[in-house]
Amino acid sequence: MTIDLTVMYAAHDAFRRDLERLAEAAARGTADTPPVHAGWDNFRRQLHIHHTAEDSDLWPRVERAVADRPQDVALLAEMEAEHARLDPLLTAVDQALHQGSADIAALVHALAAALGDHLEHEEKSALPLIQEVLTPADWGAFTGRMRETQGLRGAAVFVPWIVDGIPPADRASFLGALPPPVRVLNRLFWEAGYRRRGLWRA
């Protein structure tokens, strides 16, 4: 039985999309606006939750399953090291945003390149390894930890954030991977609340 990685891939695409929006704002000279700051703050929160859950729960699960496979253990160490290398780039962009630095465009480009390389590495190497060695129960335990961390209030932002502006087919695929009550809450309440926050809108 395969593991459904739909939500993982959708989160990766959302991270890429947000950095594209930030780069566009920097190019327009609108990075120093409340909607962009709000979009950036949400991006940082979502990325922190995502990477913390991987480092504390997902990679250790995979590492236990491949303990006798040095090459795969090394891959997991690379995943954690790449997370760590992103931290100073995130801090630099955050400081530039809040200080109105002229370097913001270059810093966003550096962050987008580093995060893009990491996500591509993860998708090409680590996610196939997850499919190979973890069970659906393992994956369910990991995603359950993610849901606990987000909580209902966090889910009310996470779900509409993922589907913000994505193609209809991708939207349907992502929402179809969620429990029906979550889809109902998103349709009736969450998306409207998310739109009112106006993230990224200049």
* Residue with token string 């190497």: 125
Length of the chain in terms of residues written: 202
Whether residue 1 is predicted with pLDDT greater than 70 in this model: the reply is no
Q: What percent of the chain is predicted at pLDDT more than 70? A: 99
What pLDDT digit, counting tens, does each position of 165-183 carry? 999 999 999 999 999 999 9
Q: What is the mean pLDDT of residues 29-38?
A: 95
CA dist 168 and 173 (Å) reads: 9
Which residue ranges make up each domain of the chain?
Answer: 6-151
What pLDDT digit, counting tens, does each position of 112-152 carry? 999 999 999 999 999 999 999 999 999 999 999 899 989 99
- Alpha-carbon distances of 129 from 8, 53, 58, 115, 132, rounded to whole Å: 14, 17, 12, 20, 5
pLDDT value at position 140? 93
- Alpha-carbon distances of 77 from 70, 112, 126, 131, rounded to whole Å: 11, 21, 11, 18
Q: What is the CATH number of domain 6-151?
A: 1.20.120.520
CA dist 46 and 24 (Å) reads: 20
